[in-house]
Amino acid sequence: MDISKRICFPDRRIFIMPDHNWVFYRWEIARERGWIRPLATLVHLDAHLDDLYDGVEVAGFYDIQGLEDAYFAAERMDIANFIWPGFARGTIDQIFFVARYPEDADPFEARRLAMRHIARHIPPGREFSGIHVPYLEDFKRMYSSGKLDRYLTRSVILDLDLDYFNASNNVFEPMLFSDEEILKSLQYLRDIRQWDFVTVALSPMYCGGDEQCEHIYQLFSGVFQLDVNTAEEWPIPE
């Protein structure tokens, strides 16, 4: 697989990209096609929170009228600020962060400051909220307890960054989870529910390099039974 390409499996509603900012554009497509309803619940599994709110300040964001505008807005975002734009657009609402870094960070702590920036653009009463846990095991316990059930009646998006499976925060010294651990986690994600939409960021740099990224992707594609020969490249607006 060429990890520099953006590919998709539309019949499975699985979209794969090298960089995470493109997730915003894919969410907009999923919403337009009716794959997800507005105010979807997001499960964001990543080594990093990606909770910077300045994505709502990129040029053209508040002028989005269609998918072409959304594409060029996503092009101006970076890999850590795409979630707030999805919230501001009303595409996502409740967010479950499963992320280790930054340590002891609370993605909901700075929401008041962020909300002041976008309040005039969203309906009254909406609040950036959800849960944050560092590990998938923590999420599993909450999920099995039924504490999340009320948020799962909406459309639910799985947003996976493959760098979650790199235990090191030093990109020059990667320390991947064992294959057994990765496979166990991926099988859980595959079987836990029928996801309405799945986005996958490859993030080769944060996986520790192209080789490590390719290895994790091969495990992912095997578990999710994806045949790269049937993949389609994303269309790009002219």
* CATH classification of the domain holding 160: 3.40.800
Q: What is the pLDDT of residue 113?
A: 65
Mean pLDDT value of segment 7-28: 94
Distance CA 204, CA 176 (A): 12
Distance CA 140, CA 131 (A): 13
Please state the pTM of the whole predicted model: 0.93
Q: What's the N-to-C CA distance of the chain in angstroms?
A: 25
Strand, helix or coil for residue 128: coil
Mean pLDDT value of segment 208-232: 95
Q: Residue 34 has which token pair?
A: 């009716």
Examine the pLDDT at 3 and tell me if it is beyond 70: no
**pLDDT tens digits, 65-96:** 999 999 999 999 999 999 999 999 999 999 99
Residue 236 lies in a domain: no
Q: Residue 232 has which token pair?
A: 């389609």
Query: Cis omega before residue 204 (within 30°)?
Result: no
Give the count of domains, the chain: 1
State which residues form the domain around 51.
7-231
Residue 218 lies in a domain: yes
